[in-house]
Structure 1
């Protein structure tokens, strides 16, 4: 069906129901003369008279009444569906799928998601915890959460957490047996815990900077893991020095269970960001979730 054919049917049904070109034209927002032309065009295309016109009245013919009876339930159904879609804005509902790292999920996403689901029972949240960078479109995620410096440039990125710094830490027991490193170069003399990167599978080179000059150091040690919480546990147990974003260690440093070193070599960098495709049409439920997270940024 062509676009003008649908418009002609809408115009005809308005006249058939209002029994007046004047009232029908006002109802659909057009002129009386334009509506009259529309009905003539529809009758010519169908090859049958649909309306009987007199100076005082307009009424459907038998063919017109049959057409009106066919159109009325179809258009009522369309109208009801449109109303239900509009209602979604008034009462947000639906599913939100997010991919995120474990730490960002625990510290940022879950608190926001729990508040949102409590306030809006018709909203469902699914969080997939993974360290690798994910193709949001291909894997049908609404959004992802990653460190700001890892977000692709063609994405909309919203800050949802403070700036972070890398932190090198060791347990009191480890430093009772080993001197504290004064510079990153000293790390070659230390037992370190390696992080296996999830995306390409390589080992993370510890990143430092001093006076604007970057320095990457490859470290060695007995233990390697691709899970940050397990690396934190290993460091607490004295298996070696660990290097992760400082928010992984804050509580343990405050408790004295870990000691931070090389702090002057660890400048701040962008923290966690929510990101999603720039051309994505977001749902009301997703807009609420974004707003809940944005207030934390």
Structure 2
């Protein structure tokens, strides 16, 4: 059997990862027809069908699963070794893929990325916003950013932010003439602005704790968003109570645009960490990002 072309194998992995010819084409910067042709050529060379194709989905055949499980880790190792050659360059270079939730991107990751982009123009970073604790190895991410308390124990984790706090706020225009909640259950009598987690599709239950007693409240309201930005805007417009990161609304609290309630029920919790698998050889580009995040955290503690 003729040894398949490495680029053809990489194209197959991209299609399998995306479960889509169109998605793989966008990632690779090729046309969909070119990607489809490459995979058909690879299947012809190997003499087996690798993908099941329908008008709605692309799935792996048994042969495709075997090739994917064997070749994808090898491709990851190859990418790491090639990236490590950047040590021989004047400045580190390479591609990084990071998964993070939306708020961490804005408050923790973006300041670091601004420094990296300025000082290391050959480092390219792709950010995927995701709220779930995904398998970064299987999904071929270099690292993930999540709150410290939910990271798998087999990962290396480094703190990159101070402690966090989520608080309940509303605009004075909403609170006027309405009773102020004294316990979390009182929120059930109010209009609240909900968050639907983009990854899981569930409505997020507001979390509270007092004197070691933890509880969750499934609040009600006419508005549901899948992002913090419109929730913040809706709260400022007086459309109900919102459960927001304290740092995001600190200026509004100081200016009186928002008012905090249930203060004793929302203690601080562990901040954001960057986590990644143990590897014998760390990519220079990734080391640059880690050092920048570490330095920024020290500067803000």
TM over 0.5: yes
Give the TM-score taking structure 1 as reference length.
Answer: 0.67
Q: Once superposed, which parts of structure 1, at least 4 consecutive aligned residues long, lie more than 6 Å away?
A: none
Alpha-carbon distance between aligned partners in 2 of 1:147 and 1:89, rounded to the nearest angstrom: 35
Task: Show structure 2 runs of 5+ residues with no match.
Answer: 1-80
Residues 89, 152 of structure 1: alpha-carbon distance in 2 compared, 3 angstrom cutoff = farther
Query: 2:215: which partner in 1?
Result: 215
Alpha-carbon distance between aligned partners in 2 of 1:280 and 1:155, rounded to the nearest angstrom: 14
Alpha-carbon distance between aligned partners in 1 of 2:160 and 2:124, rounded to the nearest angstrom: 20
Query: 1:165: which partner in 2?
Result: 165
Query: 2:251: which partner in 1?
Result: 251
Q: Compute the RMSD of aligned alpha carbons.
A: 2.2
Residues 280, 129 of structure 1: alpha-carbon distance in 2 compared, 3 angstrom cutoff = farther
Alpha-carbon distance between aligned partners in 2 of 1:174 and 1:243, rounded to the nearest angstrom: 15
Q: Offset at 1:239?
A: 1.3
Query: 1:96: which partner in 2?
Result: 96
Residues 185, 148 of structure 1: alpha-carbon distance in 2 compared, 3 angstrom cutoff = same
Give the TM-score taking structure 2 as reference length.
Answer: 0.66
Q: Deviations over 1:109-141 (max 9, x none)?
A: 122112122222322222223333333122221
Alpha-carbon distance between aligned partners in 2 of 1:134 and 1:192, rounded to the nearest angstrom: 29
Residues 164, 186 of structure 1: alpha-carbon distance in 2 compared, 3 angstrom cutoff = same
Alpha-carbon distance between aligned partners in 1 of 2:86 and 2:255, rounded to the nearest angstrom: 52
* Larger Rg belongs to: 1
Q: Deviations over 1:205-248 (max 9, x none)?
A: 21111111112212111111111111111111111101132223
Q: Offset at 1:86?
A: 7.2
Query: 2:125: which partner in 1?
Result: 125
The more displaced of 132-141 and 110-119 is 132-141
* 1:295 counterpart SS class: helix
Are the counterparts in 1 of residues 86 and 93 from structure 2 also a CA contact under 8 Å?
A: no
Query: 1:275: which partner in 2?
Result: 275
Alpha-carbon distance between aligned partners in 2 of 1:178 and 1:141, rounded to the nearest angstrom: 47
Q: Give matches, 1:231-250, under 5 Å.
A: 231-250=231-250
Count of aligned residue pairs for this structure pair: 216
